[in-house]
Amino acid sequence: MKLSELTTNDLIMLDKGYASKDDVFKAVAEELLIQGIIQDKKVFINALYHREAESPTGLENGIAIPHAKSETINKPVFVIIRLKNSINDWESLDSSNRVSLIFLLAIPKQQTGTTHIDLLAQLSRSLMNPEFVNGIKNANTSEEVMTLLELTNKQEPKEEIRESKGLVLGVTACATGIAHTYMAAEALEKAGAELGYEVIVEKQGANGIEDRPALSDVRRAKGLIVATDIEPQNMAHYENVPYIKTKVAAPIKDATSLIKQVIDQPAGNYHSEQSLDSNMSEKKSLGTELYQSLMSGISYMIPIVVGAGLMTAIPQIGGMFFGIEGGTIGDAINATSSNGAVSFLYYLNSFGGFIFSLMYPVLAAFMANAIAGKVGMTAGFIGGGLAGGMIYALTGQENQTPSGFLGAIAIGFVAGYFCRFLNNKIKLPKNIQSLKPMLIIPLLSILLVYVLNLYIFEPIGGGLNNLLFDVISKSTGTYVIAIVIAMATAFDMGGPVNKAAFAVTMTLAANQSFPMTANILGCIIPPLGIGLSVILNQYVFKRDIYDESMEADGYTSFISGIIGISEGAIPFALKNPLITIPLNLLGSALAAVLATLFGVEIWFPIPQFWGWPLVQGLVPYLLSLLAGVLFVAIGNIVIRDYLATKKKKQVEKNDNWVRS
């Protein structure tokens, strides 16, 4: 589909007197409604503003490219608006941009993954052509603009380089993965042709990775320009290529200088397992890197927990069919049962326990991997085993408190940063270079994590675990204990507090001191409540409180809640923590109190629906769960609607004041 096929003379609006973004959106909505292209003006304008809230649509050189995706749009269209006077407050990537030329795309929701991205990519490339932009700025009639659009449809052959000076590679990526990603790539390709270099640019955009060069091209490349505003993915492909790192907007402004720089003064050779040169890039803040590595480790740990839960649930439920009392399949007597099925279920239950023991090693290993790459995984995995107390289980040492979940987190960080430091600083001759990842780094890092765990992490982490255990176990009153466990579990939705509460509660349940009911409820109520909030709002309340990305996240959250994963609610907590977190805490506490009142007991760490046969008091459990989920869901809708209405009234008040 081509740009010229999606517009008409009526949708090319030249020299209009619109004074604000709102004026532009209303005028376009009115025209599209008249032509039968949209069904509802308000819904269409809201869709435009939802996109504006994600990131600026203003670019440079007086240009903006707003776009809307909505079910109210009947077919894709392309609108051009040229203003008499520029709009100075249009949010733009270039703060000095004064918008006077607007390219607006309206795409039906069902075409968002295809037509939407393709058209934005086409438009972005066209905007890199000065003749195209200047032609529209100087056109006298809409017919002249249509002629320019027709010309862009004709694929111009790439300028042939008779004697190429060599190959330059590029990687471009922007936050939205559309406009700047393609504009930067186009700029590098044009500048390369002018300088006599062949240029291949990989685009990491909304369509994923596009135009990745072959390994044979990587080997002969003279340089690599990494122009990104986000962390590029799968960059080991470019190992050892001379490189520079810059922002995605830099090639758009001056691609020629970047190509000369990567040829004459590269920052060094690219290494995917180490951070890029600080002079060429903005380093991640320490807090950001710590958070991302922790979330990476947790994301790999979750399947371990789910798999362990399944392997534990199957034998517990299966044992009931052979007259085994719930929760006793793990008794040693069942290992030698004359019934082969019972014996099998006993060992399957033990297998589930073994999988649980891998939780901490996997967490620490992939945290270290996120920081240092694969060189950090060995120390992380072994250190995670220490944090989980594997050494005490193997040697039969009792009355030892391992550092636990908090210790595994600390070990993951230490292993990652220490291994990265060693990898960057140790230099060996090429003929013995393999000794570094195979011998030197593992030896030093394993020794370090062992010593630190023994003398620092275990005393501190074990002490904190004991403290949390004491706080929960010594809380006065069953209801208080249930509330503390539920709120601690719901607080950070799969984060360190959640996992620490899980570890302590599992210990209490193993000792038959306190059931896991409150922990289970605190685990699944946040994602189920948030997800149900989106679903109810979409089909029942129909308030303008969730944009399209949040609606998609809502369904993901609901599904993750069904399978017992708290992390599905995290996107909502990041966007609106003061709404999401308090409601999660209160909804989980409410459900925990009701379940305690009804005498519900769950002794196994199985929050998924397949653990329901093991619930003692299933009906009151489901009623308690429903109460907590509805509290979170309705609470989100009411509070978000109130805040959205209040904000809208304030905007209208300000607009009226400005116009008066």
Show which residues are catalytic: 174
> Which of 68, 72, 156 has its CA nearest to residue 120?
68
Strand-pair partners of 21: none
> Which of 511, 510, 464 has its CA nearest to residue 488?
464
Dihedral, 592, 598, 601, 605 alpha carbons, nearest 10: -30
3-state class of 83 per DSSP? strand
Q: What is the CA radius of gyration of the chain?
A: 30
How many beta carbons lie within 10 A of that of residue 67, not counting itself? 23
503 contacts: CB under 8 Å, gap ≥ 6:
404, 405, 465
Write phi, then psi, for 183 (nearest 5 degrees): -65, -40
The amino acid present at 424, given as its one-letter code, is: N
CA distances (Å), origin 19, targets 82, 83, 88, 445 = 12, 9, 9, 62
Query: What span, in angstroms and rounded, lies between the C-alpha atoms of 416 and 403?
Result: 18
3-state class of 198 per DSSP? strand
496 dihedral zone (left: phi>0; alpha: psi -120 to 50; beta)? alpha
**Token pair listed for 159:** 């300028």
CA distances (Å), origin 49, targets 26, 66, 82, 539 = 11, 9, 20, 21
> Which of 312, 336, 337 has its CA nearest to residue 326?
312
Strand-pair partners of 357: none
Query: What span, in angstroms and rounded, lies between the C-alpha atoms of 468 and 14?
Result: 68
Contact yes or no for 523/489 (Cβ under 8 A): yes
Largest CA distance in the chain: 93
What's the chain's length in residues?
660
Strands (E) across 176-275 are located at 198-205, 208-210, 221-228, 242-246, 268-269
Please state the separation of Cα 283 from the chain's center in Å: 19
Query: What span, in angstroms and rounded, lies between the C-alpha atoms of 33 and 10?
Result: 12
Query: What span, in angstroms and rounded, lies between the C-alpha atoms of 205 and 179?
Result: 9
Contact yes or no for 130/225 (Cβ under 8 A): no
Query: What span, in angstroms and rounded, lies between the C-alpha atoms of 33 and 41?
Result: 7
3-state class of 219 per DSSP? helix
Query: What span, in angstroms and rounded, lies between the C-alpha atoms of 78 and 10?
Result: 11
